[in-house]
Chain A
């Protein structure tokens, strides 16, 4: 079975380490916050200027001056700090964020990522994504392995305008956990019950498959 969105978030959360400062993108990455392992402390960075994002507020806590990068109302946890956009991107661009998790439309074997624009369709803008992928050493992309029409999103070369070049080393899809190195995708883990053959069939870019590929456990 392909992973659910929640399972994808749970799998990504296993890459968290105690004391990490983490930036989570919109969508599946946001769910990772629900799976921080017990006894571990991480600090969530929101690029509009909040380090130490807490849970959503209760009705009585809602404050128009307290939002996250997705423009949702949020709270600040104990130990949080709030600052300007300039300061926020100094943290990001300066490589101070330990882990960035974000979605994508396509990733390729060179570590290129396309995530912000589909020509001819609506252009919403890149927001902070280009700064995040350029600034982080440690990035995990979460996305569906193939589009709804069955087209692979793991390519030899991205077809859409890039968000960043040569910056992605790890991808978690609904079917597999994959690392990118030396111009190829390296299959590391597969979703429970998903065969290597299915992953091969749905991966357009060069894929290297070791003798045995462990199943993820949940």
Chain B
């Protein structure tokens, strides 16, 4: 690696340094825009005791679900986990620690973490179990709870295209949590469908500027669809 060239030549190199008990933020919503090859690499590495921050936890045999199966995840911070039977089993048996977090609060926790803001106040969750044992402050007559932000040892991100400098663009709704995740990793690893020559991407259209990206790799993606719903042609 030289200068601003963020490319690495293998998935082993992409996740080198990831060890037991680390925290990992993963982009994606459902199975859309998930860093599927980086997740598969974490499985191959066999690291255990991970805290994983992601909106969802995949399905039983794809996405983050494959790390659950191998008991690599100690704690999951997510907003919705309803698609995963193994998740339910581990949760009910107490094998898995889960911190259910409202989706917008989760996004903002990651954004704030990446932006160097340690905590923020939000009305979301006030007066609900989410607000229990959290500091409450009143602003302009409304009550807000204090939510600490999140950063991670590694952020794993799925982009569409990137140049060598690590400037990334996302495709359609595969964007979701990815740009926020990219800002919040001590080491941010991005996998994309295509790495292009510098100059090929329009600077004003970049979603994730290269400053956030430490390692970049091009992969092949299955892009599984969770709920294929169509209308007659």
Point out the residue from B88, B106, B108, B226 that lies within 8 Å of A122, measured CB to CB.
B88
Query: Which partner residue on chain A sits nearest B171 by CB separation?
Result: A65
The verdict on A5 contacting chain B, using a C-beta distance below 8 Å, is no
The verdict on A150 contacting chain B, using a C-beta distance below 8 Å, is no
The verdict on B206 contacting chain A, using a C-beta distance below 8 Å, is no
The answer to whether B122 and A164 touch across the interface, beta carbons within 8 angstroms, is: no
Q: Given A65-B32, A131-B105, is A50 in contact with B125 using a C-beta cutoff of 8 Å?
A: no
The answer to whether B32 and A67 touch across the interface, beta carbons within 8 angstroms, is: yes
Interface of B, helix, strand, loop or mixed by DSSP: loop
The answer to whether A84 and B175 touch across the interface, beta carbons within 8 angstroms, is: yes
The verdict on A181 contacting chain B, using a C-beta distance below 8 Å, is no
Q: Could you say which residues of chain A place their CB within 8 Å of the CB of B230?
A: 56-59, 61-62, 73
Q: Which 5 A-B pairs have the closest CB atoms?
A: A165-B127, A89-B104, A124-B82, A131-B104, A64-B223
Q: Could you say which residues of chain A place their CB within 8 Å of the CB of B126?
A: 134, 165
- Residues of B within 8 A of A (CB-CB), count: 56
Q: Could you say which residues of chain B place their CB within 8 Å of the CB of A124?
A: 80-82
The answer to whether A56 and B231 touch across the interface, beta carbons within 8 angstroms, is: yes
Q: Could you say which residues of chain B place their CB within 8 Å of the CB of A92?
A: 104
The answer to whether A82 and B179 touch across the interface, beta carbons within 8 angstroms, is: no
The answer to whether B223 and A93 touch across the interface, beta carbons within 8 angstroms, is: no
Q: Chain B residues in contact with chain A, CB under 8 A?
A: 29-33, 55, 78-83, 88, 91, 100, 102-108, 110-111, 122-130, 160, 171-180, 207, 223-233
Q: Could you say which residues of chain A place their CB within 8 Å of the CB of B228?
A: 62, 72-73
Min CB gap A49→B, angstroms: 5
Not counting A84-B107, A93-B123, a sample of 5 additional A-B residue pairs whose C-beta atoms are within 8 angstroms of each other reads A56-B229, A72-B227, A86-B179, A122-B82, A124-B81
Kindly state the separation between the CA atoms of A86 and B223 in the bound complex, as whole angstroms: 23
List 11 A–B pairs whose Cβ atoms lie within 8 Å, in order of A's numbering.
A49-B176, A65-B33, A66-B173, A68-B173, A73-B227, A73-B230, A83-B175, A84-B178, A84-B207, A125-B81, A163-B128
Point out the residue from B32, B105, B110 that lies within 8 Å of A71, measured CB to CB.
B32
Kindly state the separation between the CA atoms of A124 and B57 in the bound complex, as whole angstroms: 11
The answer to whether B79 and A48 touch across the interface, beta carbons within 8 angstroms, is: no
Kindly state the separation between the CA atoms of A64 and B158 in the bound complex, as whole angstroms: 13
The answer to whether B29 and A164 touch across the interface, beta carbons within 8 angstroms, is: no
Instruction: Please indicate which of the listed interface residues A65, A70, A162 has the most CB atoms of chain B within 10 Å of its own CB.
Output: A65
The verdict on A128 contacting chain B, using a C-beta distance below 8 Å, is yes
The verdict on A210 contacting chain B, using a C-beta distance below 8 Å, is no
A-B contacts, CB under 8 A, total: 176
Q: Could you say which residues of chain B place their CB within 8 Å of the CB of A129?
A: 102
The verdict on A166 contacting chain B, using a C-beta distance below 8 Å, is yes
Query: Which partner residue on chain A sits nearest B127 by CB separation?
Result: A165
- Residues of A within 8 A of B (CB-CB), count: 55
Q: Could you say which residues of chain A place their CB within 8 Å of the CB of B91?
A: 123
Q: Could you say which residues of chain B place their CB within 8 Å of the CB of A193?
A: none
The answer to whether B226 and A49 touch across the interface, beta carbons within 8 angstroms, is: no
The answer to whether B100 and A123 touch across the interface, beta carbons within 8 angstroms, is: yes
The answer to whether A164 and B226 touch across the interface, beta carbons within 8 angstroms, is: no
Residues from 53 to 102 in A contacting B, C-beta threshold 8 Å = 55-74, 76, 82-86, 88-89, 92-93
The answer to whether A58 and B177 touch across the interface, beta carbons within 8 angstroms, is: no
Q: Could you say which residues of chain B place their CB within 8 Å of the CB of A82?
A: 172-173, 175
Q: Could you say which residues of chain B place their CB within 8 Å of the CB of A19?
A: none
The verdict on A126 contacting chain B, using a C-beta distance below 8 Å, is yes
The answer to whether B80 and A131 touch across the interface, beta carbons within 8 angstroms, is: no
Kindly state the separation between the CA atoms of A171 and B24 in the bound complex, as whole angstroms: 41
Q: Could you say which residues of chain A place their CB within 8 Å of the CB of B173?
A: 46, 48-50, 65-68, 82
Q: Given A125-B79, A130-B125, is A86 in contact with B172 using a C-beta cutoff of 8 Å?
A: no
The answer to whether A85 and B127 touch across the interface, beta carbons within 8 angstroms, is: no
Kindly state the separation between the CA atoms of A112 and B129 in the bound complex, as whole angstroms: 13
Q: Given A71-B32, A92-B104, is A49 in contact with B175 using a C-beta cutoff of 8 Å?
A: yes
Min CB gap A45→B, angstroms: 12
The answer to whether A134 and B123 touch across the interface, beta carbons within 8 angstroms, is: yes
The verdict on A156 contacting chain B, using a C-beta distance below 8 Å, is no
